[in-house]
Amino acid sequence: MRLIIASNNAHKIAEIKAILGAFYEEILSLKEAGIDIDVVEDGDTFLANALKKAQEVFAVCDADAALSDDSGLMVQALEGAPGVYSARYAGAGHDDAANNAKLLEAMQGVPNAERGCRFVSAVALVRRGLHTLTAQGQVEGRLLRAPQGENGFGYDPLFYYEPLHKSFAELTAAQKNGISHRKRAIEALCAQLERPC
């Protein structure tokens, strides 16, 4: 069984491989599969974007299934922003540091009690000859006033996870993978894979 992950993000791929390895003998990134595709993420929800990417990748791949994840940060005080625009919050061509800087600027003066946020992940699995599966996961946190930690990626340095008293960027990869929104979404997907389809 061969699975293509609709991403070249090394961090995402490592997380997904660690969780779904029991279900697929071969799990490849787009690059590893020799697929060069740029799917326009124009959905208004994480799930819509994940489904679109999985469908478009599956249409051009030689595999049993294609999996896509769309995820991001939703900040309560910003009415859910950056949301589906998380990766391009500071504009096209900007990086994690620029996105984080824009977010901190938008949250200046917001008191700690109103800095609640959550990471959300939606996953879609398109399968040959079987119906498509989708799932979502989330993890609650609080937005810090300055980056903390050197690990992870994206908004991890600003996402404070209360149960461990650390930002996501202060966690080891194993710690983060054990509690992340992506893990929760993929575990929900695994629960569906374990049932007869």
Q: Which of 38, 44, 64, 70 is catalytic?
A: 70
Residue 196 confidence (pLDDT): 53
List the beta bridge partners of residue 123.
69, 135
Higher-confidence residue of 173 and 120: namely: 120
pTM: 0.89
Residue-wise pLDDT for 118-151, tens only, equals: 999 999 999 999 999 999 999 999 999 999 999 9
Give the pLDDT score at 107: 98
Q: What is the pLDDT of residue 128?
A: 95
Instruction: Determine which of 5-14, 59-68, 163-172 has the lowest per-residue pLDDT on average.
Output: 5-14
Q: How far is CA 111 from CA 77, 107, 149, 168, 178, in A?
A: 10, 9, 22, 21, 30
- Please compute the mean of the pLDDT values over residues 148-161 and round it to a whole number: 95
Instruction: Using alpha carbons, select from 58, 12, 8 the residue that is nearest to residue 186.
Output: 12
Q: Is 38 a catalytic residue?
A: no
CA dist list (Å): 63 to 1, 17, 57, 90, 120: 8, 16, 10, 35, 27
Q: Check whether 185 has a pLDDT greater than 80.
A: yes
Quick: pLDDT tens for 16-67: 888 888 889 899 999 999 999 988 889 999 999 999 999 999 999 989 999 9
Per the structure block, which two tokens stand in for 117? 């946020």
- Position 56 scores a pLDDT of 96
- Indicate the domain borders of the chain: 2-193
pLDDT of residue 93 exceeding 90, the answer is no
pLDDT at residue 197, rounded to an integer: 45
| Burial (0-12, 13-18, 19+ Cβ within 10 Å), 121 | buried
Comparison of pLDDT for 121 and 174, the residue scoring more:
121
Question: With contact defined as beta carbons under 8 Å apart, do 113 and 98 qualify?
Answer: no
The fold of 2-193 is Maf protein (3.90.950)
